[in-house]
Chain A
Amino acid sequence: MPATECLKIGEVVDTLGISADTLRYYEKIGLLKKINRLPSGVRLYNERDLSRLRFIQRAKTMNFSLDEIAQLIRMRDNPTRARKSVRKLTQNKLDEVEQHLATLRTLKNELTLLVNLCSGSEDGCPIIDDMSRDDMSSDDTDKSG
């Protein structure tokens, strides 16, 4: 990314929604490599920096710690040189993501079912009202055959 296409810290804040303090902190603790600067001291974030920041954001949504993210970033930068412990961490985090995806898929299906149940109703959603009642314990399945 040419310098003219690099983003200043305020532009990164606007683009990614990460605060300037956080961006400086990530650099301070080494989560980001030293950011290039203009002679005036203004930081210029290139595409590689932005890619790392997006990765950090994604990892944080999974509640990975900053230490874990730092290790994953090292793996990301150079997978072939990753230590065995980092490869193991990466596999563990992949497993966590898979489990999270399964949970999200179930939640998505549940919400889809609720939306579909309500779509035929013009007066709110009596189905969801029903679900909040206290008499949910009664077994209402009918069996025959």
Chain B
Amino acid sequence: MTDAKKIRVELFTSNLCSRCKQAKQVLSELVVELGEQNFELEFVDVVKHIDRSVEQGVLSTPALVIDKHLVSTTLPRRQELKTLLEDSIGQSS
């Protein structure tokens, strides 16, 4: 997969969010497992980037955005998250 076809994965988080740390960890692990070369991963602090968060439709944390689409507004189970990422790879290839 070329760099231009990387899947953009954004996890919107906040310091007060008890599940965000776990979400970051699981997402980081899955990105490695599925091939870091496939993803462009970014963790976004909603407090520091509130306009961007609201424009993206993020109303709570953690929220997952894949290729500009808000795909999850809760902490998904590991397998669900893996499926989401795998599907993204499938759609982009």
Known: A113-B60, A141-B44. A120 touches B54 (CB 8 A): no
How far, in angstroms, from A126 to B49 measured CA to CA in the complex? 16
Within 8 A of A (CB), among B36-93: 36, 39-50, 53-54, 57-61
B54: which A residues are within 8 A, CB to CB?
A: 106, 109-110, 113
- Tally of A interface residues using CB under 8 Å: 23
**Does B22 interact with chain A (Cβ within 8 Å)?**
no
Q: Given A117-B46, A140-B45 in contact, is the A145-B36 Cβ separation under 8 Å?
A: yes
How many A-B Cβ pairs are below 8 Å?
68
- Interface majority SS on A: helix, strand, loop or mixed? helix
99-137 of chain A: CB within 8 A of chain B: 106, 109-110, 112-113, 116-118, 120-121, 126-127, 130-131, 136
Which residue of chain B has its CB nearest to the CB of A138? B48
If the complex has contacts A109-B54, A145-B39, are A126 and B45 also in contact, measured as CB distance less than 8 A?
A: no
CA–CA, A126 and B36, complex, Å: 34
Structural contact, B59 and A112, CB atoms closer than 8 A:
yes
State whether A116 touches B48 (Cβ < 8 A). Answer: no
A139 nearest in chain B by CB position: B48
- Asked whether A113 lies within 8 Å of B16 as measured between CB atoms, the reply is no
Chain A neighbourhood of B46, CB < 8 A: 113, 117
Cβ contacts under 8 Å, B43 to chain A? 141-142
Q: Is the CB of A142 within 8 A of B16?
A: no
Contacts from A to B (Cβ < 8 Å): 106, 109-110, 112-113, 116-118, 120-121, 126-127, 130-131, 136, 138-145
